[in-house]
Amino acid sequence: MEGDRNYPHWPQERYFATQRFGGFGVFQRQPAPFLSARDICAPTWLHIVGGYGFHLGLFGVLLFAAPHVAFISDRITGFSWPTLPRWGFIITAEIAFLGLIVLWVRRFSDPVMRLISDWDDHIGTWLTFLAMLSGCFALGESSVFLRATHMLLIDIWLIYFPFGRLMHAFTFFLSRGNTGATYGRKGMNL
């Protein structure tokens, strides 16, 4: 018999092992010490693949799509670099879209992710999705309206960026460094 409704992917014997310590509240309904690496890693493979697919795909589209390279070289840096061919852009954009959709579906289908998610997560996801989608529509550069729509959505995304959780793109490095410095000093007298 596998798990219960709260922990469906955990084997029943591990669940009951946590219940034997009923007098100790810390052990009650917390089977993490009794889980193997298989139990911990199995539910997250989709999260890992989706996360890397989305972030690397978005990075590739943002920095190596021909219209973006032309825009950056004309208006910001003054120099350009090799771009993705059209088929490379399409594949990279599809990987980014697939990763974003997988992460968003996981956010509202997983009970724990649903509990820790709020409106900010969904707004950031939808703004990113709409900006990417309008960019794919504007790729042909045949319609000024499509390009203007893409630029408008990017402007809205950039306005929302510093106030939402999208800011993790920059604060990720700072928080990782702070966490490393904090845990690096644990147990040491300075």
Cα 92 to Cα 71, 148, 172, distances in angstroms: 19, 23, 23
97-154 pLDDT, tens per residue?
A: 999 999 999 888 888 888 888 888 899 999 999 999 999 999 877 789 999 999 999 9
What's the structural domain count of the chain?
2
Q: 139 in a domain, yes or no?
A: yes
40-79 pLDDT, tens per residue?
A: 555 678 888 898 999 999 999 999 999 899 999 999 998 9
Q: 142 in a domain, yes or no?
A: yes
Q: 190 in a domain, yes or no?
A: no
Residue 99 shares a structural domain with residue 130 = yes
CA angle 179, 182, 186 (to 5 degrees): 135
Amino acid at 69: V
Residue 25 shares a structural domain with residue 76 = no
Q: 176 in a domain, yes or no?
A: no
Q: 173 in a domain, yes or no?
A: no
Domain that holds residue 88: 43-166
Q: 189 in a domain, yes or no?
A: no
